[in-house]
Amino acid sequence: MDKFSDEEKQKLADMQGQFKAAQKEEPANLREHLPAINEVHYKGFLSDIAVFLITFFIVADFCYDLHLSFSYYIFRPTKTVAIMDFMLLVDLSLFPVMTKWIMAETSTFAVVNFGVVFLIAKVVEILTQYFGAKETVKDSQIMRIVMNKSFVIRSVFDLVINIILIIMSLYIPRVAMILYLIIPVISFIFPNRIRLTNKD
């Protein structure tokens, strides 16, 4: 201490005093910071759970439709069907990111992009069903008529709904977002809608 000047000794004493005061205040500061940190993490956790559940229902609805297709009329998938199926899986893998995006930012750009990914998934699903059914019904005129009628109705309905939702996203993105998230959940929980595989 003798090596320090009186001014340096005073600065050192002031620093030691500030350090002791900070040590005394540390428990109180920690008490204030921890709830805030936990609250932020908890909200993020709940948001991630919501994204996971919504994404699950979207993907599950597509998978259920394909399950019905492969159960009823796609008995021997061709290479084309396999490629379409893999393309659908690639598109479906984007839904967790897209869902998180529209939940975090309900902008026109975000919802339109979600709609485009959803539309691509629907188109690829329709193509998978088409090429799968084409191989199965080629030897049966009656089956071909029944499947074509059901297929066209379902495909047109799905595409029109998706295009309407994308247009809606340009003007009222929040409503379009809610519909995009609710429709697959309802479709999965209540599967008694008109599906491609319904018996006429």
State residue 195 phi and psi, 5-degree precision.
-110, 165
pTM: 0.69
Digit-coded pLDDT (tens) for 101-131? 888 888 899 999 999 999 999 999 988 988 8
Residue 31, pLDDT above cutoff 80: no
Residue that wins the pLDDT comparison between 13 and 56:
56
Which of the four pLDDT bands, split at 50, 70 and 90, describes residue 147? low
The Cα 150–Cα 144 span in angstroms is: 10
Mean pLDDT of the chain: 78
Per-residue pLDDT band for 54 (boundaries 50, 70, 90) equals: confident
Residues 6+ apart with CB under 8 A from 95: 55, 58, 59, 117
CA distance 164 to 162: 5
pLDDT value of position 105: 81
- Range from 69-78, 135-144, 187-196 carrying the lowest mean pLDDT: 187-196
Residue 67 DSSP SS3: helix
Is it the case that residue 195 has pLDDT exceeding 50?
A: no
User: What single-letter DSSP state applies at residue 93?
Assistant: T
Q: Can you give the length of the chain in residues? A: 200
